[in-house]
């Protein structure tokens, strides 16, 4: 951001809709650029209601050719459950790991795992392209993922003849804390931007404001999406996304927000 204003978010109050456990990185980066983060978590992650499919998959890890993880939360839940069940991947196992995004890759490496493929693009479509030359008919793939994860990548890999097992490693739940405070800040025009880091944050943010006339509430508020899937979800609800990250990561989102406010002063 060199050459632009050093504190481009100075005086800006920005809503962080990530879960409470994930919000700190985004809030810290907003405040490093002079902004004020208002944490309004609209999602919460927890274990899936039925751990049976995940537990069954964990008992036969060595049978899979690939284990594919698409989020840091997925990595954390997957390995936490492995430890709870005292399961481990044998050192001589042929299983390889793939990840969407550098943060997910880093989370896997933190678990002592070598990541064979990391998507250059931080969306599932990027990982699918990265895997195209790596997988083939008959390969066994395990997807530990969120209960609301998109089906695009598993379906595409099944179409290639792969044997795909999808299991819920965690579930995403809607939460609505401090709605009255958010409403007051919006009505007083003290919110300058809202950040959306997944489709769930869009859906749950609007659900939290159910019964309110959202259009005037968000008039003049900059809406920022982390990537094209989140942007598409917001636009499907009739929202206009003003800012989208060039790199679909938290640093990319903050960079894009800073650039927007620096050039709009």
* CA–CA separation, 85 and 240 (whole Å): 46
Q: Please tell me the distance from the alpha carbon of residue 10 to that of residue 6, in angstroms, as a whole number.
A: 9
The answer to whether residues 201 and 229 touch, using CB atoms and an 8 Å cutoff, is no
Backbone angles phi, psi at 99, to 5 degrees: -140, 145
What local confidence, expressed as pLDDT, does residue 3 receive?
A: 54
- CA torsion sign for 104, 105, 109, 114 is positive
Collapsing DSSP to helix, strand or coil, 100 comes out as: strand
Report pLDDT for 122.
60
For residue 9, the 8-state DSSP code is: T
Q: What are phi and psi of 74, to 5 degrees?
A: -60, -45
pTM for the model stands at 0.81
Distance, in Å, from the CA atom of 252 to the CA atom of 254, rounded to the nearest integer, reads: 6
Per-residue pLDDT at 125 = 76
Alpha helices in the chain (DSSP H): 23-32, 52-58, 72-84, 102-110, 124-131, 152-159, 179-187, 199-208, 214-217, 228-236, 250-263
Which CATH code fits 13-42+175-264? 3.40.50.10090
The length of the chain in residues reads: 265
CA distance 239 to 207: 14
| Torsional sign, CA 238, 253, 264, 17 | positive
Residue 166 three-state SS: strand
Mean pLDDT by 10 residues, the chain (265 residues): 73 93 88 95 93 96 93 94 90 84 90 87 73 89 90 88 96 88 96 95 94 93 95 96 92 95 85
- Full DSSP string of 221-232: -EEEESSHHHHH
Domain ranges of the chain: 13-42+175-264, 46-172
Give the pLDDT confidence score for residue 211 in this predicted structure: 92
- Predicted pLDDT of residue 119: 80
Asked whether the domain spanning 46-172 has the same topology as the one spanning 13-42+175-264, the reply is yes
What angle separates helix 102-110 from helix 72-84, to the nearest 10 degrees? 20
Question: b or e along 95-130 (b: 16 or more beta carbons within 10 Å of the residue's beta carbon)?
Answer: bbbbbbbebbbebbeeeebebebbbebbbbbbbbeb
Residues 85 and 56: their CA atoms lie apart, in Å, by 11
**Fold category of 46-172 in CATH:** Rossmann fold (3.40.50)
């Amino acid at each position: 951001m060199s050459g632009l204003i050093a504190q481009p978010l100075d005086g800006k109050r920005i809503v962080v809709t990530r879960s409470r456990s994930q919000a700190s990185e985004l809030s810290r980066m907003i405040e490093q650029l002079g902004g004020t983060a208002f944490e309004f978590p609209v999602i919460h992650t927890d274990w899936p209601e039925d751990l049976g499919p995940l537990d069954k998959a964990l008992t036969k890890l060595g049978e899979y050719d690939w284990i594919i993880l698409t989020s840091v939360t997925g990595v954390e839940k997957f390995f936490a459950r492995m430890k709870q069940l005292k399961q481990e991947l044998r050192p001589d196992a042929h299983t390889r790991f793939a990840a969407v995004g550098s943060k997910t890759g880093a989370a896997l490496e933190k678990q002592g795992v070598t990541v064979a493929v990391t998507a250059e693009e931080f969306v599932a479509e990027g990982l699918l392209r990265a895997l195209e030359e790596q997988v083939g008919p008959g390969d066994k793939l395990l997807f530990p993922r969120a209960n609301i994860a998109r089906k695009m990548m598993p379906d595409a890999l099944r179409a290639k003849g792969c044997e795909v097992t999808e299991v819920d490693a965690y579930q995403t739940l809607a939460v609505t804390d401090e709605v009255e405070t958010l409403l007051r800040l919006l009505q007083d025009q003290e919110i300058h931007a809202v950040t959306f880091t997944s489709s769930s944050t869009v859906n749950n943010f609007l659900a939290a404001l159910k019964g309110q006339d959202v259009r005037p509430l968000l008039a003049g508020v900059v809406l920022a999406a982390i990537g094209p899937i989140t942007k598409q979800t917001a636009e499907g609800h009739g929202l206009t996304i003003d800012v989208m990250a060039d790199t679909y990561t938290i640093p990319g989102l903050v960079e894009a927000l800073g650039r927007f406010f620096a050039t709009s002063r």
